[in-house]
Structure 1
Amino acid sequence: MRRSTRSARHAATTAAAAATAGTLALAGCGGSGDAAAELSVRSSYMPQPVSADMAAGFLTIVNKGGTKDELTSVTSDAAGDVTMHDTVGGAMEQVTSFPVPAHGQLVFKSGGNHLMFEKLKHRPAQGQTITLKLGFAKSRPLTVEMPVKSATYNPSTGH
């Protein structure tokens, strides 16, 4: 009788181990925890430029998905070039990409990460909008209509 109890326990343990291994293998192949990035943009704005050829832009990219992504490019019909900048310790540095964390956000705000619109094709005025296209490493591009606010605009969202 002892031998059959051991055999039954061994069979149950083996079956449980096989089920666990199968579950882990399925999770590694793209289970619900590995959902694609779900990107959207909120709180975008450009302060009315004080210069005829350069402006700054701010926005928040929200990722509600379970996969991180990376902002790799920004273009606009309003400027010859749009560059991304990181500000650390008061020093501004141009970068080629920014991570967009899973279940997180990437914030561009005054005094921090920001966009620079260089070689403006015309000087945007308060009340107008400009169009930008955000390119990502994994996700489809997003088109954003960015409103032009007063040069002294200070949003309630803190950026």
Structure 2
Amino acid sequence: MTGVATTGIALTSALLLAGCGGSDTASGTDLSVGASYMPQPVSADMAAGFLTITNKSGTDDELTSVTTDSAGEVTLHETTGGAMEQVSSFEVPAHGQLVFKSGGNHLMFEKLKRRPEQGDTITLKLKFAKSGPLTVEMPVKSATYNPSTGH
């Protein structure tokens, strides 16, 4: 292995271990996930999650479900005009992004098996209509975390 490749692997590993919302990529696909986080929930049984899915391919895909061992159920929610509604899937546009953010589209973790604490990591499996599943390590941040400032 070359020095550049070794350095690249070490840097990638360090970012993932640090929980910096690094990028996860599905094997054999052009989908990747970045900026994933869960604010530490105030409720013992429910939490929200946010991330960005990037599709570098020329083909639309669709996020159809999310699972985790940390919750009984993960549902997909769309927010339009201040109203939240559960949906069965989200389009991941070709050469585009699907963004989950506070006040917008988000994941709802329901029936939490234990209340996640800041510093924990939640492992998710994202399932798509066309691409293979994608495993994501979602860090738990402070309840007031703001991704635009990193605090």
Give me the TM-score of the superposition, normalised by structure 1: 0.75
Residue 21 (structure 1) aligns with = none
User: Moved runs in structure 1, 4+ residues, more than 6 A?
Assistant: none
Q: Which amino acid aligns with 2:114?
A: H
Residue 51 (structure 1) aligns with = 43
Shift in Å at residue 146 of structure 1?
0.1
- Alignment pair present for 1:102 and 2:94: yes
Which deviates more from structure 2 when the two are superposed, residues 148-157 or residues 92-101? 148-157
Contact 1:37 1:68 in 2 (8 A): no
Ranges in structure 1 where 5+ consecutive residues have no aligned partner: 1-35
Seen in structure 2, the aligned counterparts of structure 1 residues 69 and 37 have a Cα distance that, compared at 3 Å, is farther
Q: Which amino acid aligns with 2:68?
A: S
- Of 106, 110, 115, the residue aligned with 1:118 is 110
Contact 2:44 2:114 in 1 (8 A): yes
CA distance in 1, matches of 2:82, 2:116: 27
- Alignment pair present for 1:150 and 2:142: yes
- Post-superposition Cα deviations, 1:104-142, rounded to whole Å, max 9, x if no partner, equal 000000000000000000000000100000000000000
Larger fraction in helix? 1
Q: Which amino acid aligns with 1:73?
A: S
Ranges in structure 2 where 5+ consecutive residues have no aligned partner: 1-27
CA distance in 2, matches of 1:51, 1:62: 30
CA distance in 1, matches of 2:66, 2:103: 19
- Of 53, 59, 75, the residue aligned with 1:67 is 59
Contact 1:37 1:69 in 2 (8 A): no
Residue 128 (structure 1) aligns with = 120
Identity among equivalent positions (%) equals: 83
Q: Which amino acid aligns with 2:108?
A: M
Seen in structure 2, the aligned counterparts of structure 1 residues 122 and 109 have a Cα distance that, compared at 3 Å, is same
CA distance in 1, matches of 2:54, 2:67: 19
Q: Which amino acid aligns with 2:85?
A: E
When Rg is computed on C-alpha atoms for both structures, the one with the higher figure is: 1
Give me the TM-score of the superposition, normalised by structure 2: 0.79
